[in-house]
Amino acid sequence: MEAQNRMTPSPKIEAGLQHTIKSEIGCSGTGLHTGETVSILLKPAPANTGIVFRRTDQIGNGTEIPALVENVVEATLCTTLGDKDGVTIATVEHLLAALAGCLIDNAIVEVDGSEVPIMDGSAAPFVFLIECAGTIAQDTPRRTIEVLKHVDVELDGRQVSLSPGNGFSVGFEIDFDSNVIGRQDMNVRLVNGTFKGQISRARTFGFVEEVDQLRRMGLALGGSLDNAVVVSGDEILNDEGLRYEDEFVRHKILDCVGDLYLAGAPISGHFEGYRSGHAMNHEIVRALFADPSAWRYTEMSAVTESGIEPQPLAATA
């Protein structure tokens, strides 16, 4: 990855305020599914903008697609956003996870293609990019989505739920018919740098026997051992092996953090997932919003350097 602008790591996050990046910064890489070289440019944005993707290869000033669950148009193997005209941006989840983990509320993401680059298959390169750009506080309170009661979704043996909780935490369990992966579970409270330190470096993964089928479907055209953990039978094909013994479930948590940021604000509550994927992650956000008694907006009262400690100050409509 080549950062177009390098700066010192981010300063302390100021309690209770929204943040954006301090300066423009970009990188380029390969699209996991298209196989094309694509560049992104992160730009600062005013308070209350949220995260907005902009396709700069479109005619005119480009198409803008806010990173909101209502704009999800596909969830097969990745999260794809789209607009009413059929313009799409795929594989947004790793970048969204990095923005969530770095507490960036507002940013414009310019993309000169139909997919965010996969980089090394994790969120770590995007965390590095954001830290190089630096962050800046904005004179507007940061709002969280406080979960007020348990909400769940179950489909074909897969389960997801959101429950009230202090701050944001994720519990996840996977169960694969593979000796290399098997059953893995992890619970993590995303505060005080745990996203960067424990989750961000976990890479996407797949099975070698699925590669040909995916490519016939026009997917995974840019996939390689440089940007994914590849499992073949009882072996990991990557020369360097795994970054964590349970890298697979950690990556599922990474995806979950990115998908849940499509709520449009940080969630204050506990997510629990069993064999969940992108589609189920989106569905639990929709289920939460479908019940007005299950959530409310609250202002955040305490923020640490690299984690959040949300406490309701004043509920807002």
Q: For each of the domains in the chain, give its residue range(s) and CATH number, in order of start.
A: 17-141 (3.30.230.20), 143-316 (3.30.1700.10)
pLDDT in tens, the chain (317 residues): 444 433 334 445 676 899 999 999 999 999 988 889 999 999 999 999 999 999 998 766 568 999 999 999 999 889 999 999 999 999 999 999 999 999 999 999 999 999 999 999 999 999 999 999 999 999 999 999 999 999 999 999 999 999 999 899 999 999 999 999 999 999 999 988 899 999 999 999 999 888 777 777 766 678 889 999 999 988 999 999 999 999 999 999 999 999 999 999 999 999 999 999 999 999 999 999 999 999 999 987 543 333 444 444 444 43
Q: What is the pLDDT of residue 301?
A: 59
Q: What is the pLDDT of residue 218?
A: 67
Q: What is the pLDDT of residue 236?
A: 95
Strand pairing category for 25-30 and 37-44: antiparallel
Q: What is the pLDDT of residue 13?
A: 67
278 is catalytic: yes
Q: Which of 94, 251, 278, 282 is catalytic?
A: 278
The separation between CA 63 and the C-alpha centre of its own chain, rounded to angstroms, equals 21
Q: What is the pLDDT of residue 60?
A: 61
